[in-house]
Amino acid sequence: MCGIFGFVLNRPLTPADIEQGRRGTRMLVHRGPDGDGEWSDADLGVYLGHRRLAIIDLSPENAQPMAAGNNVMTYNGELYNFEELRVELEDRGERFATSGDTEVLLKAWTVWGEKALDRFDGMFAFGLFDGQHLHLVTDPFGEKPLYWAKDDEGVYFASEAQVLVDLLKLRFAPTADETASFISLGFMPIPGTGFERLHVVPPATHLIVGASGPRSCRRYWRPPPASPGRGRVEPLTTAELDRLNETLFVSLRRRVRADVPVGLFLSSGIDSVLTAAIVTKDLGLDLQAFTVSYPDGQDESQAAARVADFLGLPHRLIDSREDDSWREASSVVVNLLGVPSDNLTAMSVQQMSARARRHITVALSGIGGDEIFYGYNKHAFLYRHRKLYRLMPPLMNATRWLDPLIGHIHRWRIAARLFRGDRAWQFLSLKNDGLGELLAKIPGAPGWARNLLPETGSDLAYRVRDFDLNVALPGFYIPAFERGSMRASLEVRTPFLSRRLVEDVAEMDQRAFLAFGRKGVLRRILHRYVPKEILETAKRGFVFPAGRYLDARSGTAPAIRGVPAAIADEVWRNRRDGGYRSLAVRLSVLEAFQAAR
């Protein structure tokens, strides 16, 4: 787990280029406080930099950049199945000088090339130079970030956007589509960032670049689309539950491999508790658990404490009020996330990680369980009302002329907000508490939303789940945890983000994950470990109170380029109410980025 930076130029390197490489690498010291390294080929115009957070094989021999044959690599992440791959490579005659995963990844690429990616179980982003081309590669779910940008002299890449923004003096100038998508979603879908010339490498992507820019780009894996079954829906069989249970066990067994202390982030949610239960009861590990509390918000610390007590885990509660950095929330979000996001959880994660880092270097998290197992309330709502979503939209779209006559009727207004428009706007209206019509007035809105939802599944519930897994998870949820934890030099590992688990789920009747209660499948597995009464409290998560963020910003409505003043005024006037609260936070975040850039 580290920070990486590098570039390939269209001319030989100068001493000034080397110094710029070192400066960019130093900017990632928080991601890798345990050491640094560099490699360059002046004639070919290539520089690779690395900051190290030592997790596996702490010896200097495992430092980076690392070379094997013609390949030299700077790598950020963990290859969880490196022990199994090492055995396979040794059987082919390969010999190893280290006991870490970096050398395994590098030699796997040397032996199998791009096909090695289908053998990897891990989170990673790396830059690899093969003597001719620079390969930029990301893991299947986008757990490890990789940004790239181009100028007149070449292509640059880094683990965090801030490095490229500062070094290349990139301008924050979001397009109309990016502004509209951010106001509607709270993030800009990958590869957008809002900065000119700055891009995110998407998940599961192999990008080959030269000094003139990208030469090829291939997506080597995609989560299988949700495909509901036919006929009578039945609960998953015991054999199917056993299969999912075993896959999670294998995933966790690999993800606790480390030569440093490991702990876990514990909420009262199913995903987090199941992770803790398998680690405790199946792996027999006694890990420290950490929970952040929000006495002025949605607090689940006491429920998490009951779970920890039942499992016999050492448990530390962290009061979010101990750190008052939220009072400068706007600047914290800009500096922490680097690109616009209204996921204020990043601040909670940073605070929790800073405290946890005194005791551990690696933390387990339940990220991804909701996206894979249909865990959000919206999934349950859309499935429960699937017949209405089939029948009502044509009726509502055809009866707009009735609005002046009966538009005052409460139920009619609710129906109009939920069912009018195409599937994308139905989803956006649901996500934003019925404010879809307001969002549709933002310039750029019709264009960017047209291809918002994947064309899979007959019902909206399945399309939204695929959107969450493919778009929201890498663009919104993962970055908050990744940036927040790595700012404190803490690695977060996610057992649910396993290709095998996603593929196992895809082979089962998707209706079974929705028809028998929210997270019903995972609950059935969890009840093998934990009594039902321990889980009575509803899951809330590490959700930073939005009110605190808005309290830190007073005055008139933010003036945002691309957002009509009338819309901004309406949002700000109602910022304490329902969906307007989220929109107000998004306006405030955009204002902070405009001011900073």
Q: Express each pLDDT in 466-524 by its tens digit.
A: 999 999 999 999 999 999 999 999 999 999 999 999 999 999 999 999 999 999 999 99
Please give the Cα distance from 360 to 286 (Å, whole number): 13
CA dist 363 → 259, 272, 492, 594 (Å): 13, 11, 5, 34
Look at residue 224 and tell me whether its pLDDT is greater than 50.
Answer: yes
pLDDT digit string, tens, across residues 28-39: 999 999 999 999
| pLDDT band with cut points at 50, 70 and 90 for residue 299 | low
Look at residue 297 and tell me whether its pLDDT is greater than 60.
Answer: no
> Fold identical between 2-219 and 238-375+462-548?
no
- For position 392, what pLDDT does the model report? 78
Record the tokens describing residue 396, joined without a space. Answer: 């509502």
In the chain, the amino acid numbered 119 is R
Q: What percent of the chain has pLDDT over 90?
A: 74
3-state secondary structure of 265: strand
CA dist 290 → 21, 31, 252, 459, 489 (Å): 37, 21, 18, 38, 16
Look at residue 60 and tell me whether its pLDDT is greater than 80.
Answer: yes
- Strand pairing partners for 51? 3, 36
φ, ψ of residue 2 to 5 degrees: the values are -155, -170
| pLDDT band with cut points at 50, 70 and 90 for residue 451 | confident
Please compute Rg for the chain using Cα positions: 24
| pLDDT band with cut points at 50, 70 and 90 for residue 538 | very low
Please give the Cα distance from 185 to 449 (Å, whole number): 10
- For position 266, what pLDDT does the model report? 93
Rounded mean pLDDT, 1-16: 96
- For position 508, what pLDDT does the model report? 96
Residue 456 burial by Cβ neighbours in a 10 Å radius (0-12, 13-18, 19+): middle
- For position 344, what pLDDT does the model report? 87
CB contact set of 140 (below 8 Å; sequence gap of 6+): 203, 204, 221, 497, 499
In the chain, the amino acid numbered 97 is A
pLDDT digit string, tens, across residues 516-527: 999 999 999 999
Q: Which long-range contacts (CB under 8 A, 24 or more apart) does 15-23 make?
A: 17/47, 18/47, 20/167, 21/47, 21/49, 22/49, 23/167
- For position 347, what pLDDT does the model report? 87
- In the CATH hierarchy, which top-level class contains the domain 238-375+462-548? alpha beta
Please give the Cα distance from 320 to 347 (Å, whole number): 10
| pLDDT band with cut points at 50, 70 and 90 for residue 388 | confident
Rounded mean pLDDT, 435-444: 91
Look at residue 295 and tell me whether its pLDDT is greater than 80.
Answer: no
> Tell me, which fold does domain 2-219 have in CATH?
Glutamine Phosphoribosylpyrophosphate, subunit 1, domain 1 (3.60.20)
pLDDT digit string, tens, across residues 172-210: 999 999 999 999 999 999 999 999 999 999 999 999 999
- For position 48, what pLDDT does the model report? 98
Residue 394: cis peptide before it, omega within 30 degrees of 0: no
Task: Round to the nearest angstrom and report the end-to-end CA distance of the chain.
Answer: 29
Whether the CB-CB separation of 36 and 49 falls below 8 Å is answered with yes
CB contact set of 167 (below 8 Å; sequence gap of 6+): 20, 23, 24, 27, 156
For the chain, domain boundaries: 2-219, 238-375+462-548, 381-461, 553-597
Give the range among 196-205, 317-326, 335-344, 389-398 with minimum mean pLDDT: 317-326
**Length of the chain in terms of residues written:** 597
Please give the Cα distance from 64 to 4 (Å, whole number): 10
User: Of 552, 563, 541, 32, which Cα lies nearest the Cα of 332?
Assistant: 552
Rounded mean pLDDT, 552-574: 90
User: Of 289, 291, 301, which Cα lies nearest the Cα of 261?
Assistant: 289
| pLDDT band with cut points at 50, 70 and 90 for residue 541 | low
CB contact set of 593 (below 8 Å; sequence gap of 6+): 172, 194, 334, 340
Residue 191: cis peptide before it, omega within 30 degrees of 0: yes
- For position 402, what pLDDT does the model report? 66
Please give the Cα distance from 380 to 461 (Å, whole number): 8
Give the strand pairing for 66-68 and 122-129.
Answer: unpaired
